[in-house]
Structures are given as C-alpha cells and as structure tokens.
Amino acid sequence: MYQNTRKIIGYKLSALDGDLGQVQDFYFDDKTWAVRYLVAATGTWLADRQVLVSPYALGRFDQTGEVLPVNLTRKQIEHSPGIDRHRPVSRQFEEAYHRYYGWPPYWLGGRMWGRGDLPVVMPPASPDSPSHYQHDEWDDVHLRSTQAVTGYKIHALDGEIGAVSGLIVDDERWFIRDMVVETGHWYAGKEILIATGKIDRIGREESKVFVRLTKDEIASTAKDEVAHARA
C-alpha cells in the first residue's frame, strides 16, 4: 500500500508492551530512495529522546486507528544506541544500532535492503562476506529527512514548477515511490506526482529538488496519472 508521509506524521506508535509515541519523521536514502528509519517522538516516558526505528521492526498500518505497530519492547528501545538530533546519522551509529538489534546491515549486499528487496532478516552471510562497510565520511550524507525536504522548490529542466508537499511511500518495501508537488499557479494549484526515478538530485544547500524533465513532460505525465485514476 502507498502512504503519503504528510498524513502519517502524528500516527501513534505501539510497541509490543505499550505505547511508544508518535511518528515524527522519516530518514530516507536519496540514492536508493529506501526509507531507512522512522523517527519517533517518545514524549515523557523516555525523557523526550529522539528514537530511530528501522523498517525491520515495523508492522502493518492500522488505518482506522491511525496506529503503526513496532515489533519491539519499550525496554529494547530504551537501551538502544542514542543519536544526537543535531547531526546527520553517522555510519558508526548505524553499525552499533544494527549490532544491538541483530539486524543485517542494509549497506552490504548491493540491493535495496542488503541482500534482498524487502526489509526482512536474511540468513547469515557466508564467512567470506565482508563484515565492515568502509565509509570515508563520519556522517551519512545520503540520508535525508522527509520533514526537511518538504517545502523544497522543484526545478524542472526549464524552470521552477512548485514545491515538495509530501512523499509517497510503499509501506511493504519501504521505499519512496513519488514526490508530491504543490504546483501553485503553474498548474492551477493542483498537486501532482513526480516519480523518484526522474529526480536527478536533492540540493541540500540550495533547498531544491532537480528533476530530469521539462515542464511539458511533467504536465503530460500528470494528465496521464489523472486519466488513469479516473479509469
């Protein structure tokens, strides 16, 4: 099922033994477009600490109650490695985090989730497999916040077309399928979708998303999507 991150923010998070908090944000990889972590706002039970939850631990959405189950106990979460909310996520943190939970590192194997396309625990790797990811930077520069990217201007090959208003997530494979764009006067103020495969890059310093399409190509795609939705 596809979910708009804008609508998921604020959903309740339910651990195996009680309430965990609320969905605050998601961190995604701007190269593979996989959602790597859900950011949970824990409230008072954990001294308002920022907690990251991997899709390895996420259950299925309860749309009626607006609840997302987390297959962890509160104690497990409480003793998980902490993260400095003022820094990007470091690979050193991620290695400690995955060791703590016993999850396979997604950065080994070459596929979206390491050796698979879904965030499921795979059988142990062979003894000859590399055990450590060589990373030149302290921070993982490819992890982006969905909340931070919301509002970024969208630049087509021939000019600006609007701003990011949300992201469409596949909640089985946990990857971002489309960006939701609020077009303003350029396209009668409608929201349209741009497939992430058409995005060239996200400019953090410029606060812009650069798309490999012209305005006419984007308009044509948007019309096709509307026609498909009505069929």
pLDDT tens profile 114-148: 888 889 875 544 434 444 444 444 456 688 999 99
Instruction: Share the mean pLDDT of the chain.
Output: 85
In angstroms, what is the C-alpha Rg of the chain?
A: 19
Report the predicted TM-score, pTM, of the whole model to 2 decimal places: 0.85
CB 28 within 8 A of CB 194: no
* CB-CB neighbours of 106 under 10 Å: 23
Question: Which domains, and CATH codes, for the chain?
Answer: 2-143 (2.30.30.240), 150-230 (2.30.30.240)
Top mean-pLDDT range of 25-39, 72-86, 212-226: 25-39
pLDDT score of 26 more than 90: yes
Region 211-223: what's the mean pLDDT?
86
Going by C-alpha positions, the residue among 134, 127, 164 that lies closest to residue 149 is 164
* Stretch among 77-81, 150-154, 170-174, 223-227 having the lowest mean pLDDT: 223-227
Instruction: Compute the distance between CA of residue 197 and CA of residue 200 in angstroms, rounded to an integer.
Output: 8
Instruction: Compute the distance between CA of residue 138 and CA of residue 130 in angstroms, rounded to an integer.
Output: 20
In degrees, rounded to 5, the angle at the alpha carbon of residue 29 between the alpha carbons of residues 56 and 165 is 105
pLDDT of residue 75: 94
pLDDT of residue 92: 86
